Structure 1
Amino acid sequence: MMLRASLLSRTMILFFVLVLLNVRVASSAGPSDAETLLKFKDSLKNTDGLTNWKSSSMPCKGATANWVGIRCDGKGRVWGLQLEEMGLNGDINVDILKDLPDLRTISFMKNNFDGPMPDLRKLIALKTVYLSDNKFSGAIPPDWFAGMSSLKKVHLANNQFTGEIPRSLTGLDKLVELSLEKNKFKGKIPDFRQPAGFTTFNVSNNKLEGEIPEGLRKLDASSFAGNEDLCGGTLKACPSKKPATWSIVVVVIIVIVALAAIAIVAFFILRRRNKESESSIEAPPPSTATVQNRSVRNEPEQQASAPGSPENSNGREVSGKHNKADQSLKLSFVRDDRERFDMQDLLRASAEVLGSGCFGSSYKAALLSGPVMVVKRYKQMNNVGKEEFQEHMRRIGRLAHPNLLPLVAYYYKKEEKLLIADHVQKGSLAVHLHGHQTVGQPSLDWQTRLKIVKGVAQGLRYLYHELPSLVAPHGHLKSSNVLLNESYEPLLTDYGLIPVVNQEHAHTLMVAYKSPEYMQSKRITKKTDVWSFGVLILEILTGKLPTNFLQHGKGSEEDLASWVNSVPQDEWFSQVFDRDMGAGKNSEGEMLKLLNIGLGCCEGEVEKRWDLKEVVERIEEVKERDNIQGDEDFLSSCASEGDMTKIVG
């Protein structure tokens, strides 16, 4: 009995110890997300928009938010605050928010917050910060973003910030969006060299000065507009720097020494000539025969001088006219590795009309010197200024990628523009998809079509990296603007032209495959190219022309994506896929993956449509053949469940 009592007493003591430990652990844990948010609400002013923030409920239920402005993860934790357009003001108390361990994004846009920018370094795990359209003011300390290595997006536009742009922003390797426009930032732009480049960069309408850093010089001029003292890149050229006083002194000394040396040399030359002339006076005169022979020898040279040449009495005036005419027919080359030719060479070349589109006509010109070029004549660029056009063409000419057809030269005239590129022998993808029987070309097989899709994806990714400021870096993607080289690698053409096309025609002509947002509101977004790419993928896999392109967006027939979705999934192989591909059973799973990627690009709602980065990554995962060992059970399970879209997931 005594042993049992002893054991019982020890058990009770252990129980109370565990209870005390548990209480201690619980008391040492941080506040709940609800407690933290309610405390944060109390620190704000004018919180009428947060009436459903109550202690009687939880902010999150799984991934669903119960409180307004809250974003939840799948575990019921708060990962985002989106408190926009609520009239909030007061101080953003970062010390309170740091008790939200899963907080990754904050947005207080379009409120009435003022004063200095809060110190967000205490929220070191943040990925996105949106504070635009408030009344924040004052200078942001240079180190205000130091250590925030996860930051991808920072939007501080339309406030009253002063001082220099914080240099700690340049150390954020993941930063892809920076919006600082409509503030009062001054000084020079820091040297941003983000590895992935910017998808959004805007410092317009500030008081910045100096030369645009090298890493930002390819961005569109609109990213820097409204800063009168900025120069370089796509803006006006920077003025020559005034040399320092000491350098002027050095130059003056060098010039004086050089002039003295020249004077000495000239003195000795004149002295030598005087001696020679004195000796020639003493020599006997030449014979008559010698004079006649000399005149005969000179006569052909005189006859070779045609009227109007510099030797003619009116030579200067006529020569000036010729030079002016030559300049008006001069081609501007944007590549240094190409043989030069001029407009006269093009006019003398044997020409062949390749086609005529909504922009103008395309010609194949075989130059007498050997190369075969394609000249595209554009009608709808008449309102573009010469300097703007030339600068954009130079920007296009600097692009270099295996899946882009490089621009070789251009011709500017107010009433017409010519763009000149190499001729590609195999022609366009459109011909190989829809006219191969007419021109005697074999049909493209599955492996070749997949190769083309992957090449187009790589070309688009490069354009989005190099032309981040353009709303649609390609803007005119269609099968006739995809050329095929000898190894069937795709070459994109007609890219990056939206900025130089007349604005009244750009939206109508450039977007070949009309997306839903364009059809409804004539709106072009970053995902417009993604829609066009999706239609192109479907066109490649089905071998069918996209109806809305043929109808120019005015027809009542459904587009290609809608047609594919209308076909039952178990009939896709018999009804949707082009039988000319000749793919075997061991490729069907990969073909379905690619088809579903095309449909993902053609999502009607822009917000749900995949971005280009995701599209390219998924396309890279598509193989020529199925992974038979791992995919057979998976495909059969998808078929049994009637859900072919699982193949993409």
Structure 2
Amino acid sequence: MGGLVVRPPTSSHACLFIVIALLVSSPQVSGMTEAESLLKFKSSLRNQEAIPNWDPSIPPCSRGNTSNWLGVMCINGNVWGLQLENMGLSGDIDIDALSRLPELKILSLMRNEFGGTLPELRRLPKLRGVYLSNNHFSGDIPDDAFSGMDSVRRLFLANNAFSGKIPSSLTKVPKLVELRLEGNQFEGKIPDFQQHELPHVDVANNLLEGPIPESLRNLNPASFLGNKGLCGPPLNACPNDKSAAEAAATTASNENPASHHKSSPSNTTIIVLAVLLALLILLLIIVFILVGRRKQEAKSEEPPTSAAQVVEETNVAPAPKPPRSTSTKKRSEPGKLEFVRDDKKTFDLQDLLTASAEVLESGNFESSYKVEIFAGQMLVVKRFRQMSKVGREDFHEHIRRMGKLRHPNVLALVAYYYRREEKLLVFDFVDNGHLASHLYGKHTQNCPGLDWPTRLKIIKGVARGLAYLYSELPSLTVPHGYLKSSNVLLNESYEPLLMDYALLPLINPEQAKQLMVAYKSPEYGQHNRLTKKSDVWSLGILILEVLTGKVPTDFLTVGNTGGNLVDWVKEIASDEDNVFDKEMGGAQDAQSEMRKLLKIGFSCCHEDIEVRCSMKEALEKIEEVKETDASSTQDFEEVDIAIN
């Protein structure tokens, strides 16, 4: 793409298309401008207030790649993609209006409230990426629904309520490289995909049955999780495989009497050899018994052993086993779950694959499944891609280090599974959701927002967990690397648990730069490097987010370098009247303490790493913050952070 710059979408999966070069064409089709087409599309939606700035007096795209309308992606002045995710949108998807956008390549409406049958997508033949996961679509999909969609590379329909058979037209989409159908109610057999290379297919948690097609047998077993009727590689063999082979052999024998006649002597020979072998084994057993009796009789004739000898013999320590060198550690068996904790009942991969599962999250980097292995034992299986940076032994070594981590504010690893293409990490399930859902979810009288004491408790726990990672993983420049509100789980008492930590050494560099929060830090944007204070910067952003209730979505998106976060911080600092989240009710007696924590947040995310505080300093300052004011008032000017 050269110097092409595109504003990326917020989801990791959709951004992969943003750097694709597009042909320039006219923004007007059949007399309707792109703005008119988009407004027609919007008019068919409910909850239109979620899209506030689609102003007909302003074109959706300026020259180049600048977008003027929320959720609109632009290339060369044309509408190239729509990314309207997590907005509570519902209603009809006006395919007729979208068909009038000549350069529309990406359609992402994930995590909304759309329902009904699948829209007639084949009327948009230029689409390259379709992202409709996590909605309420239902019903059967016509078998020819994807005929003619020769440009589609990624199709995400996960976590809806689609039923019936998987459309056979999907098997003929020539450029398809990723297909996500998990979390639906598809039934019947998986069709035989004809694509030359289809590296990512996920049909987990459906009602599918029968043998897995040969074209998909090299995929990770987790791709078929939750389909009890599926069989064959990479799962267990189908139960009728052996009987079918025997039936075929019998049929062939019956059809060829000469062959049957020739095989008879061979069968007789086998029977004779089996009888002779059995007799030999029986003879050996008799010999061993006789020898044993002779030794016992000889021993009974020896003089009795003295008491002292008995004590001495019974107190002799067994010969010590040779120490196991770290360089000669037992190799982990391929295809086997490896456990790193002794306090959990073990299970095997097959137990994992056949357990009831619920898809929690589905993305291009990772997918999460809630699994009940044993009654009452809930686990989360995180399936990772983009983790081929290191080889098998280095991967095992790093995961074993992670497996030793134990802290009240760090989610402990239970087990892991290694495969070159994909890896599984198994953790305990935490059922109170993550911090982001509590900050930005719908709040009611029965489910209010987080108050000040709870938010302070969460920040303190996060800081303690992060400081622990710094102390236990000193060789890592960035011990966490992926610290953000959606990666902080909360237990029933709202104690935070850090997850997705210490993954940076395992992730492919290009994906890491796109995904990991540490790469949005000023030092990476300015000097192309990470430092020991990059995680402190992430902590500072998290503190500001928790206190203000403002999410830096535009800056922490996939592919963004995070350079504009300095402006975001300045904006917060200048907004004295509305700096704190109004949902922190009952905090009038803690204003000075809240400002103290705000000041700490600013010092943690300072642009200058020399001025930015260290992890140790940050924790010490955070621990000093109280729930109520130590003094009556504190002037807001003390929160000045010398950013300029």
TM-score (ref. length: structure 1) = 0.46
User: TM-score w.r.t. structure 2 length?
Assistant: 0.47
Bigger helix share: 1
* Structure with larger Rg: 1
Q: Which has the higher contact order (CA 8 A, sep 6+)?
A: 2
